[in-house]
Structure 1
Amino acid sequence: MAPTTNASTDLAVAQAAASELARLLPSVVPLVPVPFDAAQAPAPDAVAVRASFVGGVSADLVVVADAAVAQVLASAGAVSLADAMRPALEAAAATLGPGVLDAAVAGSLDGDLAEPGVAAIALAPAPGEAPQAWFGLRTRTHTPVPQQRDGVRPGQGAGGDRAALRLLHDVELTLTAEIGRTRLPVRQVLELVPGTVLELDRAAGSPADVMVNGRLVARGEVVVVDEDYGIRITEIVANEA
């Protein structure tokens, strides 16, 4: 992976993403994207929330908005800064096209907005006013995999791929089974009590999704094995990539 070099294209992409992020940012005062001014940039030790997006256009996203959302978070003690920023980051990532947004993580900014290849956008109540939040986006290009004339990748044949894959045989992957999803506003999450029934986005009897490190790999039916739940695989999901 390497940063893209078309700065004007990256800035246009970042502006579109910042507009969507600002729309769902949990700030008491609505914010709009404005040009980034290094003189008004956040301090290097400011709290930032980062997430990586993998898709046709892959990118790293970072947002500094702890002050802008502080009042909202103060009234929702059970919600972390990273969780509060997740819907806004998802909206920003959606402008990049189909893909998967990794978990959002809060940490020190460490000067990310000043790094080469980062398209930075400020967020302010109105143009000309002092920024209250900042958004940065760094797109990544995929390095093409060399192909031989017959379509066989280097290293294939003579057990090349198998030998390489064997090095990963002992690496543990997290496998989860998902029977459905739903989305709830923070208000309803805070009102959850024992006995609450949540309606999922899947009909009863539908196959469960089998995920490996968050990636869909198969579907199956829920079974019981020695008083424990299990999954009987009924379908392997092809990797379209």
Structure 2
Amino acid sequence: MNSLSTSTLAAAGRSTGVASAAAQAAAALVPAIAALAVVPARDADVPADAVAVVATLVGAPSADLVLVASDVLGDVTAAAGGALTTLDALRPALEAAGQEVGAGVLEASRTEAAGAAVAGAEVFALQDEGATVAWFALRVRGPQPPAPLRGVPTQRGSMRMLYDVDMVLTAELGRTTLPVRQVLDLTPGTVLELDRAAGAPADVMVNGKLIARGEVVVVDEVYGIRVSEIVNDEDATR
């Protein structure tokens, strides 16, 4: 086997591994009653007339992330009385999948016909006790960069193409976890207890990734964050 064939197979293996990890991350956050198993599938297996929720990750590499989960979301969105849309319900799953693909900005979610959305993509069936209840697909746009060598610093020049891309930063005071039934029962005046002590620094996030911490300040009657700490990759685990 020549070197070109070997490198092609290696790139394909990395692509499949990333797609599988993204599918696992998405499956964990699809609001289903039971945990969903991830099984490789074909784009032809996905019902062409179903509605797919798609979000594009702009980064290196860029990719389209696709979820087809209308069946599993039917009861959840119906119980919410229209307050929870399919786009909102699947956004956390798409964000989690995007983090597995790589650094970048996840654009707003949109809907497309499933047949066109998954064509040529790596597809996975999301199954509950052997029955497929949803689909995940990943289509990488353009060639993937080679995996960096461990211990060798990445050259900043490879990121120049991203310098003008807008990135959304969010400040997070804390989190809490609630079952869907309690989320649907929320009313004005409900107090949610977060996992952060009063006075603790807020987290500064980019695309769901922790990059800094700081204190909440007010600048000209507008909230702001005074950065007190830059978080390294080793310290970014929550």
TM-score range, shorter chain: 0.5 to 0.7
Equivalent in 67, 80, 91 of residue 63 of structure 1: 67
The reply to whether residue 177 of structure 1 matches residue 182 of structure 2 is no
Aligned equivalent of 1:231? 225
Aligned to 1:193, what secondary structure does the other structure show? Answer: coil
The reply to whether residue 188 of structure 1 matches residue 200 of structure 2 is no
1:28 and 1:71 in contact (8 A); partners too: no
Deviations 1:51-101 (A, max 9, x none): 45689997542111213422332222321112222454466567x488688
Q: Where in structure 2 are the equivalents of 1:48-197 lying within 5 Å?
A: 48-51=52-55, 60-77=64-81, 78-89=83-94, 96=100, 102=106, 105-108=109-112, 109=114, 111-115=116-120, 118-123=121-126, 131-138=132-139, 141-142=144-145, 176-197=170-191
**Identity percentage of aligned residues:** 51
Number of residue-to-residue matches in the alignment:
217
Deviation at 1:142, TM superposition (A): 2.9
Measure the CA separation in 2 of the matches of 1:198 and 1:111.
Answer: 41
Deviation at 1:173, TM superposition (A): 6.4
Alignment-mate amino acid for residue 76 of structure 1: A
Aligned equivalent of 1:41? 46
Measure the CA separation in 1 of the matches of 2:167 and 2:102.
Answer: 24
Deviations 1:157-198 (A, max 9, x none): xxxx9xx99x95xx9765543322323332222222233222
1:83 and 1:104 in contact (8 A); partners too: no
2:53 and 2:66 in contact (8 A); partners too: yes
Q: What value does the CA root-mean-square deviation take over the aligned residues?
A: 4.8
Alignment-mate amino acid for residue 220 of structure 1: G
Q: 1:173 to 1:22 in 2, by over 3 A?
A: closer
Alignment-mate amino acid for residue 234 of structure 1: S
Measure the CA separation in 2 of the matches of 1:144 and 1:16.
Answer: 16
Alignment-mate amino acid for residue 106 of structure 2: D
Deviation at 1:107, TM superposition (A): 0.7
Alignment-mate amino acid for residue 111 of structure 1: A
Measure the CA separation in 2 of the matches of 1:6 and 1:137.
Answer: 15
1:10 and 1:138 in contact (8 A); partners too: no
Measure the CA separation in 2 of the matches of 1:32 and 1:216.
Answer: 28
Aligned to 2:181, what secondary structure does the other structure show? Answer: helix
Alignment-mate amino acid for residue 72 of structure 1: V
Aligned equivalent of 1:148? none
2:39 and 2:126 in contact (8 A); partners too: yes
Measure the CA separation in 1 of the matches of 2:60 and 2:76.
Answer: 34
Decide which structure has the larger Cα Rg and report it.
1
Q: 1:235 to 1:125 in 2, by over 3 A?
A: closer
TM (norm. structure 1) is: 0.61
More helix by share: 2
Alignment-mate amino acid for residue 137 of structure 2: G
1:4 and 1:141 in contact (8 A); partners too: no
For structure 2, the 5+ residue unaligned runs are: 1-7, 149-153
Deviates more, 1:68-77 or 1:172-181: 172-181
